[in-house]
A and B are shown apart, each in its own frame.
Chain A
Amino acid sequence: MNYLVIIIGAILVNNIVLMQFLGVCPFLGVSKRISTAIGMTGAVAFVMVLATIVTYLIQKYVLDKFGLAFLQTIAFILVIASLVQMVEIILKKVSPPMYQALGIFLPLITTNCAILGVAILTVQYEFNLVEGVVFSISHAIGFGLALILFAGIREHLDLQNVPKGLKGTPIALIAAGILAMAFMGFSGLV
């Protein structure tokens, strides 16, 4: 039951992009085509789950153990940056087709606040490791859901006759606002 609350809460009620405003940069940046949106989702999901596990272990067995909690921000961002590098190198060697699909998105992920945000939230909510993994997977699904829905909307927006001043980013932001309004319908679900 507890897991169900975490999953529904993360995907629909507190959607990471539309309600918590984490990962808005890639949400606006790579949402022009559905295919790139899917690639980005895959890369984010992969790194998010890995980063949550690694930062959780570091928090528990290094930072808390030696009373270094104030180094959290520095430690986490370094771990995430090196993790992204490592994933890139390993993926290139082990699975070239997967690297082809996700490769260009990986460098962008270091400065994606969704990754660091979920890692910090997992520590803040005092989850255990399994809950943390469920939490990060659901957030990744929520990110993908918002991104792919938004990419679909933007593909249609390209064909519409938009007022001149609103073309490009402004109309995209307003469409995102309306999408967020739709997601507000889920509030109170958990």
Chain B
Amino acid sequence: MNQWKNFSKGFIKENPVFVLLLGMCPTLGVTSTAINGLGMGLATTFVLLMSNIVVSLVKDFIPEKVRIPSFIVIIAAFVTVVQLAMQAYLPSLYKSLGLFIPLIVVNCIVLGRAEAFASKNNLVSSAIDGLGIGLGFSFALVLLGGIREILGSGKIFDITLYSENYVTLLFVLSPGAFIVLGYLIAIINRIKKN
């Protein structure tokens, strides 16, 4: 597999959110605005990239039986790094993402890539895979957050598009997350078929 294909598969073909339906909790929970989606996406990308790199480096030393717990510890370590860095440098984003930052640990995408890809491939492919899947995840989150923000508050990245008198508040609340994601997945399915 060439490296460009390896990188770009995360956007549509194997998009973790739209196609594989992994990592649903942060996808729905933090996407009330596009900027929150971006922050969450990049935080997850960092964890994914670093854990893929480390897992592919240590895969030969880890006994088969304790593989999964070891991966979880590696992932949890990088999540802690992100958590502390964000708390120090981006306190407002940290506050709005809240609980979902420590919950990156249990995001099935990260463990899924470590187990399915990084534990079988070399360093370079694993790093590219982590970056591609992570950015695909960020893309999905920004798309979902952007649509919800435009429909629900008439803004995108804090730039006002139309008056607040015409917004449908429902879309920034929790039902909007489910409904918008449902229609997005239907559209992506349609694109994939062609």
Contact = CB atoms under 8 A, between A and B. Distances in A.
Interface of A: 18-25, 28, 70-74, 77-78, 81, 110-113, 116-117, 120-121, 124, 165-166, 169-174, 176-178, 180-181, 184
A174 B182 contact: yes
Contacts of A18: 174
B72 A77 contact: yes
Q: What does DSSP make chain A's interface, helix, strand, loop or mixed?
A: helix
Given A23-B25, A77-B105, A170 B175 contact: no
Interface residues of B, number: 39
B79 A174 contact: no
Contacts of B173: 184
B69 A81 contact: yes
A31 to B, nearest CB: 12
B174 A111 contact: no
B189 to A, nearest CB: 7
A124 B182 CA distance: 32
B contact face: mostly helix, strand, loop, or mixed:
helix
Given A177-B176, A180-B174, A111 B106 contact: yes
B58 interface: no
B185 A173 contact: yes
Contacts, number: 110
Contact of A25 (B25, B177, B183): B25
B175 A74 contact: no
Contact of A173 (B73, B99, B181, B189): B181
B102 interface: yes
B62 interface: no
Nearest to A20: B29
A176 B176 CA distance: 10
B176 A113 contact: no
A116 B103 contact: yes
Given A77-B105, A116-B102, A117-B103, 18 more contacts: A18-B174, A21-B26, A70-B80, A70-B84, A111-B106, A111-B108, A113-B25, A113-B106, A116-B103, A116-B105, A117-B99, A169-B21, A170-B182, A170-B189, A173-B178, A173-B182, A174-B179, A177-B175
A139 B108 CA distance: 22
Contact of A73 (B83, B175, B185, B190): B83
B156 interface: no
